[in-house]
Structure 1
Amino acid sequence: MKHIFTGLILTIAAASVIGQTTKKVLFIGNSYISTNNLPGIISSMAVADGNSLSFDSNTPGGSTLSQHAVSTTTLNKIDANAWDFVVLQEQSQRPSFPDGQVQVDVYPYAEILVDSIYSNNSCSVPLFYATWGRQNGDQQWEGINTFEKMNTRLFNAYTYMTDQANGMLSPVGIGFAHVKQDENAVVNFNDLYVADGSHPSMKGSYLAACVFNNLIFNTFSSGNGFSPTGLTSNEVSYLQQVADHVVYTNDSVRVDFRPLSENTFTVNTTGAEITCSPSIVNGAFESWDFGDGQQSTQQNATHIYSTTGTYEISMTTSTVCYSDTVKEQVVITTLGTTEYDQSIFTVYPNPSKDGSISVELPVDENYSVYSVGGKEVYKGRAGKLELPEGVYFMYFRNEIRKVIVL
């Protein structure tokens, strides 16, 4: 079951962007953000998609969260705007250090900054920047002396902080790992770094920007028209695809730890009929989308499909700050059940192109026709009907037919 997150005023699915979206983002960290002007790259990507990024930052080289937690500059910047997102990035090594040290030197200060963020605006989202392991790891400790070891510890620490903050995670380090593991990578893993084996090259920063672009604007980076200086079109396309994979299709990576991400639902299928039952842990139920053009605002909903196939069912829930959509697929392999024998009650043509409908019943009894909104538009036993364009449900005894007029 996948979650498609929708932030604040953005309520469309991740695959489509309609009109201009403006997001306000504050970046708090150090040189991993300022190198290559990461916020500027994200802004350029936003413009290429017809969006807008309004941002500010405080990123002195080598800064730690403990320093930011007592920095007047940082705290004033947090209070200066009703930010949609506040990006938090710790010094590049600290989250990978031994657990006892991280619990003392990192986690308490992340909590202080998160409290400041929520105190300023309860709808701001703390967005943790999960950075990458160094190219050859950190040799000062055996537990992080390879890229893989260091990267794993960084990811786990940032995931913990994100979970505690009910925030979101930008798993850029997982993107670096994907490139390293990809035998067909268009971009060489070593080329994600500059000579120090720590800071990002333009390719590394662009990969990070693609991940952030996906999260901030609830979109896909593939196809974005902005190309940084020094990257070929093939490299741009590849890094965009890596970011999309990490955010949307890598099941081992969770990016959304906000409360609504805990909401789920189950689907029971009988023939062409489904029954959807939500489990709402936080927020409020909004609506169902059954994947065939039909929706419902009934919390425990029943729906009947008119054709076989694979459908994606979506459940949307919301709070005052944002909405979240959970999706799950259902496969309809048969349209008939023992209760709904197609030979008993026949409606044709369906769909109808001119509104003319023929109805054949086994006995001379009444049937009813309802609009998709639940209004009864006909009751009787006529063999022919003229219906305006729309979707209808015809009821006879215990049978239901969905009728479409084009």
Structure 2
Amino acid sequence: MFVMQTIKGDSLKVLYLGNSHTFFNDLPQLTADLALSNGDTLIFESNTPSGCTLGHPQNGHLYNSTSLALIDSIDWDYVILQEHSLFGVIDYYRDTYMYPGARSLDSLIKLNNECTETIIQLIWGKKYGGEHCINLSCSIEFEDFAHMQDSLTAEYLRLADTLSCTVAPSGVAWKQSILNGDPIELFYPDESHPNLAGSYLTACVYYSVLFQKSPVGLPFLAGLNPEDAFYLQQIADEVVFSDPEQWNINGNIPVAGFDITQIENTVLCNDTSINAGYYTWDFGDGTTDTIQNPTHTYYASGTYIITQEVSTLCHSDVTTDTVYVKLTNTSKNIISDYNISVTQGDDSGLFNIFSKYSEINQINIYSLDGSLKYSKYLNGIHEYLLDMNYLQSGFYILVVSSSDGIKTFKIPH
């Protein structure tokens, strides 16, 4: 389930750890300018040394003191990791440095703040594909850009799945534009780095992923002509939001939801939320619960709003539904087990306590804060009429001591 946000004025703190592919045309600032043009705020820091990798000992962010200090500097909302453009297609560098480096950096990010989300940038391939080597390790011979991009996409999605993190599918957006007939040149003359249009498309992807809002129609054009900028905005929107689950957008965020089955004055709540770790229910009559699928009985006619809040350690979501209760019986069975039943009579302050098998020896009434409100010693009887009219309206704890043991009930008055 994915819901695109529409509220303006969001503010995010984002750290970019990349290399020259992020440095070219100041990609973080382009993304911030896009956000600002829609009333959103992107507070960012970046470290993007040329040729930097995620986990290579010679030039990896994992070993870069600036990168490590930035990770620990504040509680980031997101940290974006951008790997060397060739590591994803050369087996040795992918398996030895890219995957282990991403895992280690993600662990450090979570160590600083377990609620920070890691985003993996899905980089684009070389303009014409081809074979590419680093030292003695080489990729396969790619037929063209699309062939190389498909390989990169598969590896980056596998990495993101391993880390359970979000993907920024910039390379997929580049592929879609190129397959559309390549109407706008995205590459710098070196056929690897982005020109301004390529960086703008990537910024539109970032804005869509970070703020979960469409970039289409945003007035910031970065100096591009309006037709080109609008086209690139549309490409980013289509790639990100046509299948957000593929990129794991909101993949770790809980979304509340439940169905209700009502049987007279009793409701059965069936949880349909996703990604929830904890549940809090408010039934609108002063009672709550924390189990996943609660059952609740109302003891007065009326309209009640049931509120479900689902949460994780980092996020929460709330939804509500309304039930209508009309009691038709003048006597209501409040609660019972195999032996003891408690029934509320026509006068809502009178309760009949009946023990089918054992003898009732004592009855205590406590308020919800634990204060004793009433105590009665009984001489082994099976039925007792309890008058609570002198107590204020609310919920109370009834403790019945019998020859069968001690039973506790929560009763309304």
Tell me if structure 1 keeps the 8 A contact 2:129–2:141: no
Indicate which of 49, 55, 59 corresponds to 2:48. Answer: 59
> 1:70 and 1:222, CA in 2 relative to 1: closer, same or farther beyond 3 A?
same
Name the CA distance, whole Å, in 1 between partners of 2:317 and 2:195. Answer: 34
Q: 1:109 pairs with 101, 104, 113, which one?
A: 101
One-letter code aligned to 1:37: D
Cα distance in 2 between the residues matched to 1:47 and 1:21: 10
Q: Which amino acid aligns with 1:174?
A: V
1:21 aligns to 2:15 (yes or no): no
Structure 1 residue runs of 4+, over 6 Å off? 263-268, 297-301
User: Does the aligned pair in 2 maintain the 1:22–1:51 contact within 8 Å?
Assistant: yes
Q: Secondary structure at the match of 1:25?
A: strand
SS of the equivalent of 2:246 reads coil
Do the aligned residues in 2 keep the contact of 1:130 with 1:170 (CA within 8 Å)? yes
Asked if residue 135 in structure 1 is aligned to residue 127 in structure 2, the reply is yes
Tell me the amino acid that sits aligned with residue 120 of structure 2: F
Q: Which has the larger radius of gyration?
A: 2
Aligned to 2:89: 96
Contact 2:80-2:119 within 8 A present in 1 as well: yes
Query: Which SS does the other structure have where 2:105 is aligned?
Result: helix
Q: What are the within-5 Å matches in structure 2 for residues 318-337 of structure 1?
A: 318-323=311-316
Hey, what does 1:196 align to over in structure 2? 190
Residues of 1 paired with 2:10 and 2:165: CA distance? Answer: 21
Give the Å deviation of 1:166. 2.1
1:210-244 CA deviation, whole Å, 9 max, x = no partner?
Answer: 11101111211111111111x11111111111111
8 Å CA contact 2:258, 2:270 repeated in 1:
yes
Aligned-residue offset at 1:173: 0.5
Using CA pairs under 8 Å that are at least 6 residues apart, name the structure with larger relative contact order, 1 or 2: 1
What is the aligned counterpart of 1:50 among 27, 39, 58? Answer: 39
Q: Deviations over 1:160-199 (max 9, x none)?
A: 222222211000010011112225x6x33xx010111100
1:246 aligns with 2:242: no
Give the unaligned 5+ runs of structure 2.
133-138, 261-268, 282-289, 295-307, 329-413
Mapping of residues 144-223 of structure 1, within 5 Å: 144-183=142-181, 187-188=183-184, 191-223=185-217
Letter matched to residue 73 of structure 1: T
Contact 1:260 1:283 in 2 (8 A): no
Aligned match of 2:23:
34
Q: 1:134 to 1:87 in 2, by over 3 A?
A: same
Task: Name the Cα RMSD after superposition.
Answer: 3.5
Counterparts in 2 of 1:238 and 1:266: CA distance versus 1, 3 Å: farther
Shift of 1:147: 1.0
Contact 2:157–2:167, Cα closer than 8 Å, also in 1: yes
CA contact (8 A) 1:162 1:257 kept: no
Partner of residue 3, structure 1: 2
Q: How many residues align?
A: 291
Query: Does the 8 A contact of 1:143 with 1:149 survive in 2?
Result: no
> In percent, how many aligned pairs have the same letter?
30
CA–CA distance in 2 between the matches of 1:238 and 1:284?
43
Distance of 1:233 and 1:179 partners within structure 2: 16
Letter in 1 for 2:167: L
Is the Cα contact below 8 Å between 2:5 and 2:211 reproduced in 1? Answer: no
C-alpha change, 1:324 and 1:147, in structure 2 (3 Å) is farther
CA 1:174–1:375: 2 relative to 1, 3 Å: same
Greater displacement, 167-176 / 243-252 = 243-252
SS in 1 for 2:25: coil
Distance 2:86 2:317 in 1: 33
Structure 1 residue 259 displacement after superposition: 3.7
Name the SS for the 1:142 alignment partner.
coil
Residues 59 and 133 of structure 1, relative CA distance in 2, 3 Å threshold: same
> Once the 2 structures are TM-superposed, how far is the Cα of residue 319 of structure 1 from its aligned partner?
1.6
Counterpart CA distance in 2 for 1:264 and 1:180 is 39
Distance in 2 (CA, whole Å) between partners of 1:264 and 1:373 is: 15
Opposite residue 247 of structure 1, the aligned amino acid is V
Write the distance in 2 (CA, Å) between the matches of 1:266 and 1:375: 17
> For the structure 1 residues 104 and 318, does the alpha-carbon distance in structure 2 shift closer, same or farther, using more than 3 Å as the test?
same
- 2:118 is matched with which residue? 126
**Partners in 1 of 2:253 and 2:61 — Cα distance?**
29
**Contact kept in structure 1, 2:2 and 2:244, CA below 8 Å:** no
Once residues 310 and 161 of structure 2 are traced to their aligned partners in structure 1, the CA distance between those partners, rounded to angstroms, is 20
Determine if contact 1:29/1:60 at 8 Å carries over to the other structure.
yes
CA shift at 1:31, angstroms? 0.5
Per the alignment, in what secondary structure is the counterpart of residue 106 of structure 1? Answer: helix
Distance in 1 (CA, whole Å) between partners of 2:318 and 2:155 is: 27
Q: Secondary structure at the match of 1:212?
A: helix
Gap regions ≥5 residues in structure 1: 5-13, 269-274, 288-296, 302-314, 327-371, 380-406
AA aligned to 1:51 is D
Partner-residue secondary structure (3-state), 1:144: coil
Query: By how many angstroms is 1:146 displaced?
Result: 2.2
